Chains A and B, each alone.
Chain A
Amino acid sequence: MNTLEKMLTSDMLPSQSLVVTADSRKDITSAEGFLDYVSPLKEGLFSFILKTLNFSEDADDVFQDTLLRAFKYIYSFDRKRSFQTWIYAIGHNEIRQYFSRIKNMEYTFDESFPGVSSGGNRKIVQDIYEIAYRLGDRQREVFFLFYDSGFSIREIAKITQLKIGHIKFLLHQARESIKVKLNTGTGGKKNESVSR
């Protein structure tokens, strides 16, 4: 519970009280205000960009460009919309521009992740990320928007401007690839039994 909720539910106040709060957020059109506003989203946004770019160092530049562009066009943001969807759409556009610039670049899959936290099996995580690495750029983007950022298919359609049917198809393909890879067991032993 936040401070306000604690106050309201405690015995400190009479049964009928008028509590006035002020929105102490800074002006969103200032650099500091904008950073405060974006702060809850920046880790998730960075994670999405970094993973979509296969942990490339260029993710730093794409992340910076995304925030700069969002700040530049903050006046055009419609407050009736979701800010998270809006800023991820900008991130999506920056990623698209990046891929169009480096079309012929070869990636190498780096198995040294930043670290697998609790809840993750390192070998399984590596297998999943290896499959994601081999997906097409657009499919990988949709994959991480769904599985990493937690957007719904409808929200992903707003962010990427793809049709819902297409997104479902891309996710289904990725999911099936993962199931096949992981159901064959560790070390690629195809004879391991799945049903127990």
Chain B
Amino acid sequence: MSLFPDKNTNRRVDDLISEQVRSVRPKVPSLLEERVREALQDAERQQRLPVTRGWRSHWLPLSAVAVLLLTIGFFLFRLYFRRAAVQESPVSEIKTEFVLAEQNIKILWYQKKNFDPRILEGAGDERRR
């Protein structure tokens, strides 16, 4: 026999479907209820703990300061070595030739690789020997 016997039925289709759907009434299993209760109690305990107890409250600002110090240190380190590199760049060997053809003069200016502008020629040679 059909659920919808005729067009003139007083019962609404939705009510009929609802009745059939609700005739299946699953219950919450007791084990699940217990599990939910324990989970909620755990959650309640977590919520009630004081805010400062967590490791985050100590380590977070400390790690931020550490990162800041490392960043500053990194930039200072790079700055120092850049200056040192500029100061200690080796002097190249230079050769320059001047020719005065009319007077048959040739001037050769030669700078050695180990030339150090900070040391005077006479005294510096003695020190290096």
Contact = CB atoms under 8 A, between A and B. Distances in A.
Contact of A178 (B17, B36, B41, B44): B17
B4 A67 contact: no
Nearest to A193: B2
A182 B16 CA distance: 12
A71 B47 CA distance: 11
A195 B40 contact: no
Nearest to B40: A31
Contact of A179 (B1, B13, B23, B47): B13
Contacts of A30: 44
Interface string A51-69: 1000100001001100110
Contacts of A148: 18, 21-22
A175 B25 contact: no
What bracket does the count of chain A residues touching chain B fall in? 35 or more
B28 A43 contact: yes
A170 interface: no
For the residues of A in contact with B, the DSSP-based class is: helix
Interface residues of B, number: 32
A124 to B, nearest CB: 6
A128 B29 contact: no
B20 interface: yes
Contacts of A158: none
A47 B40 contact: no
A129 interface: yes
B37 A42 contact: no
B122 to A, nearest CB: 86
Interface string A19-51: 000000000001100110000001100110011
A194 B25 contact: no
Interface of A: 30-31, 34-35, 42-43, 46-47, 50-51, 55, 60, 63-64, 67-68, 71-72, 113-121, 124-125, 128-129, 132, 144, 146-148, 150, 175, 178-179, 182-183, 185, 192, 194-196
A113 B4 CA distance: 24
B14 A147 contact: yes
B39 interface: yes
A64 B6 contact: no
A194 B18 contact: no
